Structure 1
Amino acid sequence: MTAVPPVVWFVVPDGVDDPERVSGGNVFDRRVEVELRRLGWVVRLVRVEPDAPGDPFDGVPDDALVLLDGLVAISAPAAVESAARRLRVAVLVHMVADAFEDADPRMVEGERASLSHAHRVIATSEWARDELVGRCLSPADRIVVATPGADAATPTAGTSAGGSLLCVGVVAPHKGQDTLIEALAGLAADPTWSCTIAGSVSADRSFAAKLETDAARAGLSERITWTGVLRPEDLDAAYARADVLIAPSRTESYGIAVGDALRRGIPVIASRVGGLPEAARPEDAAILVPPGDPTALGFALRRWIEDPGLRARLSAAARRSAPDRPSWRETARTIGQTLAGLT
């Protein structure tokens, strides 16, 4: 007799696959959906606009398994409370709102209320798990960690000068590209580097416009390429040309781009904040600097550019560790086992 495949209702933000709304959370959701299907799950995708009126669980049958994106959960805590009485709900936490000083108080309260009713909480980093426990948002025995995966890729060769810099992520204040521009301004006299900044500029257009203005004033316009959102094949090509990935975030729960770079054998210069140090393992494949500190980032970049021995050591460590990076299949398997445990 053929076994009946397990079913999960995956409630995600509307626009999860919109290329102009690319985020780490959206990438995570899309990849997990694909890999759960490959593992034999029937995934019923429910798209919800956060803060939209109505019940995001309307139409989900009683006793169903639900995987709920945390952004939707935060915006609908009353619906989560009601759903938890008739459904088996696991909330997927991409970010811990309460950990950020400038968080909207409504998001913080929505997070606390919705997580209190979740049957399981799936955190996307060890840092997020520790924050959830430390802030009494969820007990440790209810939390499972499923870190983002990375796809297998051919290691990059890099350039002899090491000056091909890459920064990947939505162009927004929390990603810290302004820190990077200021750091690069201090290296303007060095002719050996160029920088590609890949990511959507639509999240905060005024911030993106100011960055371009600041870069122009520093005389960097011809050395910085703003690509906007890249198609997967073009993003692969950008990684293939890169010597080092720069992740200057002010806040970050993990850092998918960091994992993607290291999976390709590309070392990383990143902020020591949130889950970035976790993503940037092993330590000998990365340089970590304080967040929001252009002087420290500029010093790290100068070390990278001027010291071929340092570049060789970091690159070798990144290439050695590349095969050991977790895959998206492993991420989805952890989530699937968590969901199955709720049956």
Structure 2
Amino acid sequence: MKVALLSGGASIHTIRWANGLAQAGHQVHLITQHPLLEPVDASVVLHEFPYRGTLGYFLMASSVKKLLKKIKPDVLNAHYASGYGTTARLINFHPYLLSVWGSDVYDVPNQSKFHRYWIKTNLQSADRIASTSHCMATQTHTLADNLGDIAITPFGVDVERFEYRQSVAVNKDALVIGTIKRLAPKYGIDTLIESFALLLSHYRKKSPEIAEKLELHIVGEGPQREELELLAKRLDVDQQTRFFGRVLHFEVPKKLAEFDIYAALSRLDSESFGVAIIEAGAAGKPVVVSDAGGLPEVVVAEKTGIVVPRAQPQQAAKALQRLIEDPSLRSSMGQEGYKHVKSQYSWSLSVLTMQKLLEDVVQDGAQVNELA
């Protein structure tokens, strides 16, 4: 099958879909206006266009249309309804699968009536729509009528890369709570720091020996970094909070191995799928997550992790305290998380799911052409 993948090269998810489909034996053409975040498989044919920003999605349409006439793909798969979904609508190529990601269906439509109409039109131009989570599929249905069944195509993980093992933190005496996220308000890193401050305040009074062991590791970069560093200092936890900056995707397993507990306390529903959470599960780490968006979907509550109300540091601190004080609970949740991810979210299973969906879209398109 020849697949034209119209998506942002600056996203690791784009790279993984392109590589996964190519390694499954398909001919993949990656079409993007974004420079690649990481290299793609040698068999992936890259087409990078010199357009940028919102206007670029409109301007690149004619060039992409000419390219598609040349390469003659069996199917077009555009990712992100507001950006590349616009390009795909203008191209009017079929069969066409549109994959929604999160902010494109949660945030963009709320900017204005025009933006809502824009997303609605883009959604209705697709032959089929895919979502990474059930909650986002439900949200997408609120934006337009007659979208049909929305397929669920979760982002999986290469479980073998996230080998289950106990913490290998540099300081063997440390107990590390960690997160790997972009430092932006929607991801609730401030809530995590506030929770950590509550924990330290409690243990400094009740159990100083535990307080001395606790560390908070924040891995990621973003516009909120300076604000978060100041927050940690103001709450008197800066000496036990470490900011590591951004790491490349291949370095994530190593960082996760240093954690004892993984925390994801996002506050917005546009956090539509918990990729980092299933990566933590693959690494055998217990998780504490907020009830935002698709995060609870990837956790078996009280078995692989603990779900807490969003933007409530006291509740998050209580959940973290349970795991800190119960090593057997940490261990059992980590082991169950590994089993859950391996059975439900392995990368090979995700690629098979996407491959089957693309084949169905091609077949449905062929049937429509026969009827025409």
TM-score band by shorter chain is 0.7 to 0.9
Deviation of the 1:135 alpha carbon: 4.2
Q: How many Å separate the matches in 1 of 2:85 and 2:156?
A: 29
Aligned to 1:195: 216
Give the 3-state SS of the residue equivalent to 1:167 in structure 2: strand
1:181 maps to what in 2? Answer: 193
Please say if 1:228 is aligned against 2:249: no
More helix by share: 2
Partner Cα separation in structure 2 for residue 233 and residue 80 of structure 1: 31
Distance 1:259 1:29, change over 3 A: same
2:259 counterpart letter in structure 1: A
Q: Is the 8 A contact 2:99 2:131 kept in 1?
A: yes
Residues 103 and 299 of structure 1: CA distance in aligned 2, closer, same or farther (over 3 Å)? farther
State how 1:261-272 maps to structure 2 within 5 Å: 261-272=280-291
Q: Which secondary structure does the structure 2 equivalent of 1:284 belong to?
A: coil
2:303 to 263, 277, 284: 284
Query: Which blocks of at least 5 consecutive residues in structure 2 are unaligned?
Result: 34-51, 205-210, 363-372
Counterpart position of 1:22: none
1:157 aligned onto 2:142: no
Q: 1:54 maps to what in 2?
A: 59
Structure 2 distance, partners of 1:46, 1:102, is 25
Q: Which amino acid aligns with 2:125?
A: H
Deviation at 1:96, TM superposition (A): 5.3
Return the match for 2:234 from 217, 224, 249: 217
Task: Letter of the 2:3 partner, please give it.
Answer: V
Q: Deviations over 1:191-236 (max 9, x none)?
A: 22111111122xx2xx221110010122222211111111345322
User: Structure 1 residue 33: deviation in Å?
Assistant: 0.5
Give, in whole Å, the separation in 1 of the partners of 2:86 and 2:247. 38
Instruction: Call closer, same or farther: CA 1:89–1:294 in 2, change over 3 Å.
Output: same
TM-superposed deviation, 1:187: 1.9
Q: Identity of counterpart residues, as a percentage? A: 22
Match of 1:9 among 4, 7, 10: 4
2:232–2:238 CA contact under 8 A, matched in 1 = yes
- Give 1:39 deviation, angstroms: 1.1
How many pairs align? 320
Q: List per-residue Cα deviations over 1:267-307 (Å, max 9, x = no partner).
A: 11000121101122365111001111111111212222123
Between the aligned partners of 1:138 and 1:209, the Cα distance in structure 2 is 45
Tell which structure's C-alpha radius of gyration is larger: 2
The secondary structure found in structure 1 opposite 2:310 is coil
Residue-by-residue CA offset, 1:107-158 (whole Å, 9 max, x unaligned): 44332220011111111112211222244466342x2111010112321213
Q: Is this contact kept in 2: 1:96–1:132, CA < 8 A?
A: no
Report the CA distance between 1:87 and its aligned residue: 2.9
Q: Which has the higher contact order (CA 8 A, sep 6+)?
A: 1
Which 10-residue stretch deviates more, 242-251 or 150-159? 150-159
Q: Deviations over 1:151-172 (max 9, x none)?
A: 1232121389882111011110
CA contact (8 A) 2:183 2:225 kept: yes
The residue that corresponds to 1:112 in the other structure is 120
Unaligned 5+ runs, structure 1:
1-5, 18-25
- The runs of at least 4 consecutive aligned structure 1 residues that moved more than 4 Å come to 76-79, 100-103, 159-162
Q: Quote the RMSD (CA, aligned, Å).
A: 2.5
Partner of 1:213: helix, strand, or coil?
helix
**Corresponding residue number in structure 2 for 1:39:** 24
